[in-house]
Chain A
Amino acid sequence: MLQSREMLRLYRQMLLIRRMEERVAESYGEGKIGGFTHLYIGQEAVAVGAISALNFDDYVIDTYRDHGHFLARGGDPKKFMAELFGKQTGICKGKGGSMHMADVERYFFGGTGIVGGSIPIAAGLGLACNYREDDRIVMSFFGDGATNQGVWHEGLNFAKLWNLPVIFICENNFYGIGTGVQFSSSLTEVHKKASGYGMPGYRVNGMDVLEVRRVCEEVVKLVRGGAGPALIEARCYRYQGHSMTDPGRYRARAEEELWRKRDPIPRLAKDLIDGGFATEESLLELDREIEALAEEAVQYADESPDPAPEALYEDMFAVRYPSDPHA
C-alpha cells in the first residue's frame, strides 16, 4: 500500500490532467488551439500510475496522445498550454503542437504523430542504457492501434533480442480512431502479443491508478534488474472522441456510460476519504487550487507572444550553412 502522501500526489496529478484537458477542449472551441488535438480524459490513471513508478532520469517516449504523459512527467502546465496555443513560450517554441510535446530536460522525448513510430526509437533509448551500462530504463506509451504496425514488431524484436530495458505500455482504449480493436487486431488481448517475442506480458486495469502503479513498480524493478523488456496492456477508455473533431458515432452511449462509472479520479477520492487521508472538503480545496493553476496556464498562453518571424528558420540543424533557409 502506498503512503497517503504518494496517493495524494497521484490524485493531484490525475486531477491536473483532467482540468487541463477540460481547458484545452474549451480553448479549442474558442479557436485558440488548432490542428489535431487528442484529449487524454479518461486515461489519466495510466500515465500517472506508470510514470510515478520511474526515476527522474529514466526515459519516457510517447505517441501523439501525449498531454497526460507530459504533465505526469512534471512538465510545466504553462509551457504546455502555450505550446498548444502556438506561442513562443511553448515547450517546443510553438513548433510542435499537441502531437509533439517534448521536454528533454525531464527525459520526456515526446509524441510522434505516426502510429507506432516511437517504438523502435524506444528500443534505441534502451540500447543507449545498455551501451553505457547505466541504471536507466525506458517507458514507451502507445495505443492498441500501434500494435498492428510493422515497426511495433520490429521494435519489440530488437528489444528482446538485445535484452533492452524497455517497458512497452499499451493503453488499450479499444479504438484506433473509430475502428474497434476486434476489427483491427488478430489478437484483441494485446498483452498476449508479448509471447511472440518471448517477453512477459501483463494486463492491468487502466482505470485504477493504484493497480497501474503497483504492477509498474514490480515491472520496473525487474527491468532495471536486467530482466529485459516487458509489455503491459492497460485497459482504459477515452471519454472524448479520437480528436476534437470526432463526435464518436461508432460507440454505443451505454458503453461510454459504463466506463465513465469506472472513472479513476472519484475512485481514488473514495480510497483517500475511506482511508482517512483526505476529506471531501480537502479534495474540493485541491480541485479549486488546480482549477486556478489551469486558469493561470490559459492566461499565460493567451498573453504570450507569437513566435517571431525569424523563428521559422531556426532549430532545424545544430549547425547552419548559407544554403539553409533564411530570412
Chain B
Amino acid sequence: MPEMRYYEALIEAMAEEMRRDESVFLMGEDIGLFGGTFRATEGLMAEFGSRRVRDTPIAEAGIVGLAVGAAMAGLRPVPELMTMNFAIVAMDQIINHAAKMRYMFGGQLNLPITIRAPGGGGTQKGAQHSHSIESWFVNSPGIRVVIPSTPADAKGLLKTSIRSEDVVLFVEHEMLYSSKGQVPDEEVLIPFGRADIKRPGTDLTIVAWSKMVHEALHAAEALAAEGIDAEVLDPRTLDPFDWDGVFESVARTRRCVVAEEGWRSVSVGAEIAARIQETLFHELDAPVARVAAVEVPTPYARKLEQKALPNADDIVRAALKIAV
C-alpha cells in the first residue's frame, strides 16, 4: 500500500472519477493554472484541460449557483470553495437552493454536487479564516456532510461523494493536507454513514472527526500511560451519521468524550452527547464529556489561538475527569 499525502489522495480521487465519467468537472478559484491554494487540484488542468478544470472569478455564491444549474442539467460538478470560510458567502446558494431544491420540487430531480472546502484553524489566519462550521450544515436538512481525517478516507470518501446523486459538502482541513498515510492501491469507495475505529480501546470512547481525530490519537497515547485504554471513533460522515456505530462503542466502554474543533454551543458534538444520553443513559458510568473551541472569534496571536482551539491536552483532561 503506497503512502501519500492527504492532498495527493484528493487529486487521485478527482482524477480517477474524471477519467471514469465525462460529466464530472471542477470549478473554483485558482484551481487550474495555479493548481489550488492547497495544491489539491495540482496537475488536473494539465490532464483534463480548461473545459473540465475551470478557474472562476472570486464569487463564491456564483460558483455554487453555477454548480446547481449544471447539476440540474445532468452534469456532476465538483466546485471548490477556497476555504470553508467562504461558504458563508455562498450560504444562500448552498442552503436555500442546493440543499432544498430536490425536496421542494417533490423529488423531480437529483443534484449530484460535491462542494469541496477546507476548514479549520491553527495557522494564525485570524477570525475570518479559521472556521470549523460543519455543524451549521448538519443543522440544515438536504445536504450530506463528509469530513475525512486521513488520506485513505479522503480518497475513498471523495470518490463516493462524486458518485453520489445528492449534494455533498466535503470538508477538508488545512492542517491535514500535508499529513501522510497508507492509501490502498485498488479502488476503494468508502460508504457514507460508517464510522471507523481509528484506535480500539476498552475504557473510554473518544468521538472525533477531521483534525481532532489526530488530537484524539495523541490523547489516547497519553491516557494509555495513565492506564486508560481509549477507543478513538471517527464518524467520517456527519450526515448521514453512524449512530449505531457510536452507540455500540459507547455501550462497550461506558464512557465517552466528544471532541470537535468547532464552537461548543448547538454543535454536532452537542447532538452526539444528547443522543448518547437519550439512548444509553443506563449504560453510562459517567456523563458524556465535551471538548470544543472557546466561543470567541479565533484570535491571531499564536498563544491566544492555541488557547481558543481544542487539542490533545484538552481531551486528556476531559477524559480524566470522567474516567475516575
Contacts and interface: CB of A to CB of B under 8 A. Distances in A.
A315 B93 CA distance: 19
Contacts of B192: 321
Interface stretch (A116-124, A215-223, A297-305): A116-124
B227 interface: no
Interface stretch (B107-115, B177-185, B197-205, B210-218): B107-115
Interface in B73-126: 73-75, 77, 92-93, 96-97, 102-110
Interface string A111-150: 0111001011111111111010000000000000000001
Contact of A316 (B69, B93, B142, B243): B142
Given A128-B75, A157-B59, A323-B242, A90 B106 contact: yes
Contacts of B73: 59, 124-125, 128-129
A319 B164 contact: yes
A128 B69 contact: yes
B105 A121 contact: no
B222 to A, nearest CB: 32
A314 B107 contact: yes
A325 B142 CA distance: 11
A27 B244 CA distance: 48
A120 B65 contact: yes
A249 B165 CA distance: 47
Given A92-B108, A131-B51, A318-B110, A125 B193 contact: no
Contacts of A121: 65-66, 68-69, 72, 93, 97
Nearest to B89: A150
Interface in B45-69: 51, 56-57, 59, 61-69
Contacts of B106: 90-96, 315
A148 to B, nearest CB: 15
Given A315-B106, A318-B110, A124 B142 contact: no
A130 to B, nearest CB: 9
B209 interface: no
Contacts of B240: 321-324
B243 to A, nearest CB: 6
A327 to B, nearest CB: 16
B91 to A, nearest CB: 11
A114 B97 CA distance: 9
B51 A154 contact: no
Interface in A74-132: 90-96, 100, 102-105, 109-110, 112-114, 117, 119-129, 131
B72 A109 contact: yes
A315 B102 contact: yes
Nearest to B105: A102
A183 interface: no
B25 interface: yes
Interface of B is mostly: mixed
A128 B74 contact: yes
A117 B241 CA distance: 30
B239 interface: yes
Contacts of A157: 57, 59, 62
A273 interface: no
B70 interface: yes
Nearest to B67: A124
A283 interface: no
Given A93-B106, A104-B105, A316-B142, A151 B70 contact: no
A96 B105 contact: yes
B93 A96 contact: no
B65 A155 contact: yes
Contact of A100 (B104, B142, B164, B243): B104
A85 B107 CA distance: 18
A321 B238 CA distance: 12
B72 A124 contact: yes
A117 B108 contact: no
B165 A112 contact: no
A292 interface: no
A196 to B, nearest CB: 14
Task: Select the residue from A92, A95, A121 with max chain B CB neighbours within 10 A.
Answer: A121
Given A95-B103, A323-B243, A127 B97 contact: no
Nearest to B69: A124
B166 interface: yes
B302 to A, nearest CB: 35
B68 A319 contact: no
Contacts of A113: 96
Contacts of A158: 56-57, 59, 62, 66
A161 interface: yes
Given A95-B106, A124-B65, A157-B59, 6 more contacts: A109-B69, A109-B72, A114-B92, A151-B61, A157-B62, A322-B244
Interface of A: 59, 61, 90-96, 100, 102-105, 109-110, 112-114, 117, 119-129, 131, 150-151, 154-155, 157-158, 161, 314-319, 321-325
28 contacts: A93-B106, A95-B103, A105-B108, A109-B69, A109-B109, A113-B96, A114-B96, A117-B92, A117-B97, A120-B66, A120-B69, A121-B68, A121-B72, A122-B69, A124-B67, A127-B66, A127-B69, A128-B70, A151-B61, A154-B65, A157-B59, A315-B107, A316-B142, A319-B166, A322-B243, A323-B240, A323-B242, A323-B243
